[in-house]
Amino acid sequence: MIIIVHEGGHFVAAKLSGVKVNEFAIGMGPKLFSFTRGETKYSLRLLPIGGYCAMEGEDEESDSPRAFGNKPTWKRIIIVAAGAIMNIVLGLLMTLAMVLQQPYYASTTIADFPENSVTANYLKEGDRFESIDGYAVWNSRDIIFAMGTSKDYSPDIKVNRDGKTVDLGNVPLYTYEKDGKTVMAVDFVVERVDKSFLSVCGETIGQTVSTVRLVWSSLIGIITGKFGFNEMSGPVGIASAITTVASEGLQSGFLDAFNNILNVMMIITINLGIFNLLPIPALDGGRLLFLLIELVRRKPVPAKYEGLIHGVGFALLMVFMLAVTFNDIVRLVTGSGFG
């Protein structure tokens, strides 16, 4: 579904821009079956690792006035960006579906502490989180992400206390051991936000923006070394994660399992949207970079050079994907990857 929405974004934008679409494919590799409607062939392919929207004149020269390469640069930018944008829109709708089910929402202001709370020695009732380890806190999702990714479970916390910013320094978090691993748990209660039209809109937009920030921060963490190779997952790891969250949700009911899966899907679709916008050859972001260069230079980069760069980039991405997938399989079998 996520791939259909992504490629559908390219497809609709291309059609609206007057570009001929030769094939709309879900999956990669050998064709399982296909049919033609109008001028477009629709196909399902064997490998469930993506899809594509093949447009006339996208990767080759074409004299057709409906060719992608013969359209104004701004139209081509919209077509290329449309897939990632639709992924983020889908994430927004998934978030809305989860938010509408909740009777009220969590704020970022502390209301109470349970007995024997660790953080009660540092935080106070009425404190509003401002940042955790330098990560700005805008809503409750930010609190969980920032605390959960703190390497030593003793992050630097800043709060707004009585209208003033207070740096509490390194605050030890509540942790416990589970299956030989250290797990962090929140040991404070935040004030609730009552449900209304405005709070539903605010929570939906806020959680979506926070997920975008979460994905972006995670990508930066991979580049800087905060997160290692073993903390990445490909299709196999994602399937395993969905199975786990679904099983946990089923312990309390079908709806909880559905919402757990929906939450993972929401993160995946936003992740796909953001990752595709990165200026990496063979991705939408790489094509956007060449289009922006063309916009500035007022002439395109020679097709043979652009094609070569995208070809090399695609090959490297496939090698990387295979490595991540192999690590997922090793992790499933042995309990730990090789990274």
Catalytic residues: 7
Residue 270 parent element (H or E): helix 254-276
Q: Are 150 and 132 in contact (CB under 8 A)?
A: yes
**Cα–Cα distance for residue pair 245/162, rounded to 1 Å:** 39
Of 99, 231, 206, 88, the residue nearest 142 (C-alpha): 206
CA–CA dist 96, 203 (Å, integer)? 8
- SS3 label, residue 134: coil
Distance in angstroms (rounded) separating the CA atoms of residues 250 and 147? 26
Query: 85 near 12, Cβ under 8 Å?
Result: no
Please name which of 266, 247, 265 lies closest in space to residue 257, comparing C-alpha atoms.
Answer: 247
- The strand pairing partners of 166, in sequence order, are 159
Strands (E) in the chain, as ranges, are: 21-37, 40-55, 104-112, 128-132, 135-136, 156-161, 164-170, 174-178, 181-185, 189-194
Q: Please, are residues 166 and 129 in contact by the beta-carbon 8 Å criterion? A: no
CA distance 102 to 32: 42
